[in-house]
């Protein structure tokens, strides 16, 4: 058995846990909206046509923020197509995914869904085929209280009160040549700055997110961010980051270590942003919105024949996730939490059917994919402050990401309840690890604990419509808590959440 140690210190605080770390993403893409969230004929559909089974799973997942309506889709989207009487809404070509958008769901319907799911909307405007005026128009429609043309139109359409959307994405992935209206960094920086100025003139307190690179493999990675921030530093609050990971050519060791790449990604963008801030002699710190992240078998998608074009809600990238994928997703959340001083918003992409923790069949059931479980448990247990968590563990060599630790972990501490949560992965393909968590620096505390782990002898096991609960969290009984420390055995290729509750010793 391999051995690892973590020493926790309640004064070594990175930052408070940002609830927005547990965001998600709903794009008008594939079956995320149509037959995902929305299916009027479904047995569970409510009075608005929303699937109650999907809504219940969304609540259980614990998501807090939802980015909407895209993604690549937004760069050709006309928001006003999706308002007013449904029978007059146009059907349009969606050039991003070559499908037909019926506009049955628009911002009013989505805001109703978000209220039912109790999530905050992060709204993305189209800066691909559109610009400042259209961004102002949609803002007037959703956020202006009353007395102007578009605010009154919203009220006439049934929403008396404005939606009060605070977070606004200034476009999507405009560095990517696949993006409608793709621009170079200079042109995008100017447009983002002009849009930010206009939106702030309408509502100064908005939180604005400028596009970062669409991935760290982009040739302009880093340079794009620097140029965009040269134009927008004082005008925006966030820079967006996007990253998707997959296992290449059966190289599981590298795949399991991909959170080290996310760590490096964040550190690089923080350094880039801070260098622009230093040059501008600004005390402001730009936050990161990691508003697209997940495991995505993108290379399989790219190698597949295209689905029949111009369908409504086609089956697109409905990846089925296994045990190893769930361990990686848990690890990516560890990375995001570890950077809570700078990553204060994040959205797993996407919510339903499209590379998603929730799957739903038309007319049939909805179920939890393997990746649902580490997300839901982390969202439920991460409370209070993130603690600096240094792991002493053996290392191993990966082909893709160099040297990686066999164990990766992050801890949170809620000083109000005294609870500590530790989220940890064992990346070893064959051996269990005995992890000791030293809690001595919390003083004389009588700890009680519980733990659950996600693992299986068959790391390729998935949940399916026929077998929706093959991959679940299991109670980890190999936990002992005594004398100011916790000891737990982590199975090979596993993700574990450890919850330690404090009582006092007199
Ligand atoms: O989430 C799927 C796609 O990935 C999004 O539309 C796009 O922004 C990204 O490239």
What residue owns the CA closest to ligand 1's atom 5?
A: 71
Distance CA 453, CA 410 (A): 15
The answer to whether residues 75 and 171 touch, using CB atoms and an 8 Å cutoff, is yes
| Each residue's pLDDT tens digit, 113-130 | 999 999 999 999 999 999
Q: What is the DSSP string of 150-205?
A: HHHHHHHTT--S-----EEEE-S-TTSTTSTT---HHHHHHHHHHHHHHHHHH-TT
In the reported structure, the alpha carbon of residue 63 is separated from the centroid of ligand 1 by a whole-number distance in angstroms of 19
pLDDT at 174: 98
Distance CA 130, CA 133 (A): 8
Within 13 A of 84's CA, how many CA atoms are on the CB side? 10
Distance CA 441, CA 194 (A): 50
pLDDT at 506: 42
Annotated active-site residue in 80, 101, 173, 225: 173
**HEC secondary structure over 341-362:** CCEEEEEEECCECCCCCEEECC
Distance CA 167, CA 346 (A): 12
The answer to whether residues 6 and 391 touch, using CB atoms and an 8 Å cutoff, is yes
Distance CA 107, CA 162 (A): 12
Whether 173 sits among the annotated catalytic residues: the reply is yes
- Which atom of ligand 1 lies closest to the CA of 27? 6
Mapped onto helix, strand or coil, the DSSP state of residue 293 is strand
In the reported structure, the alpha carbon of residue 71 is separated from the centroid of ligand 1 by a whole-number distance in angstroms of 5
Distance CA 163, CA 144 (A): 9
Distance CA 123, CA 14 (A): 28
> Please, what is the Cα angle at 360 between 243 and 462, to 5 degrees?
65
pLDDT in tens, the chain (506 residues): 999 999 999 999 999 999 999 999 999 999 999 999 999 999 999 999 999 999 999 999 999 999 999 999 999 999 999 999 999 999 999 999 999 999 999 999 999 999 999 999 999 999 999 999 999 999 999 999 999 999 999 999 999 999 999 999 999 999 999 999 999 999 999 999 999 999 999 999 999 999 999 999 999 999 999 999 999 999 999 999 999 999 999 999 999 999 999 999 999 999 999 999 999 999 999 999 999 999 999 888 787 777 778 999 999 999 999 999 999 999 999 999 999 999 999 999 999 999 999 999 999 999 999 999 999 999 999 999 999 999 999 999 999 999 999 999 999 999 999 999 999 999 999 999 999 999 999 999 899 999 999 999 999 999 999 999 999 999 999 999 998 999 999 999 999 999 999 875 54
In the reported structure, the alpha carbon of residue 195 is separated from the centroid of ligand 1 by a whole-number distance in angstroms of 22
Distance CA 393, CA 428 (A): 11
pLDDT at 125: 98
Spatial CA neighbour of 340 closest among 62, 31, 20, 64: 20
Whether 247 sits among the annotated catalytic residues: the reply is no
The set of protein residues with a Cβ atom below 6 angstroms from ligand 1 is 27, 70-72, 172-173, 214, 292, 349-350
Cis peptide before 418 (omega within 30 of 0): no
With b meaning 16 or more CB within 10 Å and e meaning fewer, what string describes 21-45?
bbbbbbbbbbbbbbbbbbbeebeeb
Q: How far is CA 500 from each of CA 21, 262, 380, 419, 475, rounded to the nearest angstrom?
A: 22, 27, 14, 6, 14
Distance CA 365, CA 235 (A): 45
What residue owns the CA closest to ligand 1's atom 3?
A: 71
Distance CA 195, CA 228 (A): 13
In the reported structure, the alpha carbon of residue 426 is separated from the centroid of ligand 1 by a whole-number distance in angstroms of 29
Q: Please name each of the domains of the chain with its CATH number.
A: 2-9+386-502 (2.60.40.1180), 18-381 (3.20.20.80)
| Each residue's pLDDT tens digit, 200-237 | 999 999 999 999 999 999 999 999 999 999 999 999 99
Spatial CA neighbour of 367 closest among 279, 274, 464: 464
Residue among 94, 349, 350, 352 whose CB has most ligand 1 atoms within 8 A, to mutate: 349
């Amino acid at each position: 058995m391999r051995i690892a140690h973590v020493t926790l210190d309640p004064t070594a605080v990175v930052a408070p846990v940002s609830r927005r770390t547990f965001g998600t993403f709903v794009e008008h893409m594939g079956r995320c909206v149509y037959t995902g969230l929305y299916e009027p004929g479904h047995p569970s559909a409510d009075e608005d046509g929303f699937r109650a089974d999907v809504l219940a799973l969304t609540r259980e997942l614990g998501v807090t923020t939802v980015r909407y309506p895209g993604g690549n889709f937004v760069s050709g989207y006309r928001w006003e197509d999706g308002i007013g009487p449904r029978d007059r809404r146009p059907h349009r070509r969606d050039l991003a995914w070559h499908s037909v958008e019926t506009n049955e769901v628009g911002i009013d319907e989505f805001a109703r869904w978000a209220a039912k799911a109790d999530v905050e909307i992060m709204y993305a405007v189209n800066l691909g085929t559109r610009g400042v005026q259209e961004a102002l128009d949609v803002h007037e429609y959703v956020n202006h209280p009353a007395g102007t043309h578009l605010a009154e139109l919203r009220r006439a359409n049934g929403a008396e009160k404005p939606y009060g959307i605070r977070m606004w994405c200034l476009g999507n992935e405009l560095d990517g040549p696949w993006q409608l209206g793709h621009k170079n960094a200079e042109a995008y920086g100017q447009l983002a700055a002009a849009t930010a100025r206009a939106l702030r003139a309408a509502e100064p307190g908005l939180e604005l997110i400028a596009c970062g690179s669409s991935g760290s493999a982009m040739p302009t990675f880093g340079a794009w961010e620097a140029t965009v921030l040269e134009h927008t530093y004082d005008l925006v609050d966030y820079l967006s980051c996007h990253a998707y990971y997959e296992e290449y050519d059966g190289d599981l060791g590298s795949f399991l270590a991909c959170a080290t790449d996310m760590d490096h990604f964040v550190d690089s963008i923080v350094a880039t942003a801070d260098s622009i801030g230093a040059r501008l002699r600004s005390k402001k710190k730009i936050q990161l919105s990691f508003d697209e992240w997940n495991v995505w078998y993108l290379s399989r998608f790219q190698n597949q024949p295209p689905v029949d074009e111009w369908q409504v809600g086609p089956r697109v990238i409905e990846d089925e996730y296994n045990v190893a994928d769930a361990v990686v997703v848990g690890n990516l959340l560890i990375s995001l939490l570890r950077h809570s001083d700078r990553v204060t918003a994040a959205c797993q992409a996407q919510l339903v059917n499209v590379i998603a923790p929730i799957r739903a069949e038309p007319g049939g059931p909805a179920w939890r994919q393997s990746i649902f479980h580490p997300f839901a448990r982390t969202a439920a247990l991460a409370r209070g402050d993130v603690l600096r968590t240094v792991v002493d563990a053996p290392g191993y060599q990966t082909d893709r990401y160099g040297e990686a630790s066999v164990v990766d972990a992050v801890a949170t501490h809620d000083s109000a309840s005294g609870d500590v949560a530790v989220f940890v992965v064992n990346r070893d393909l064959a051996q269990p690890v005995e992890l000791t968590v030293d809690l001595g620096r919390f003083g004389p505390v009588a700890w009680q604990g519980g733990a659950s782990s996600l693992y299986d002898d068959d790391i390729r096991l998935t949940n399916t419509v026929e077998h929706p609960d093959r991959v679940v969290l299991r109670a980890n009984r190999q936990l002992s808590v005594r004398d100011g420390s916790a000891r737990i055995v982590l199975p090979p290729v596993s993700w574990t959440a450890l919850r330690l509750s404090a009582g006092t010793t007199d």
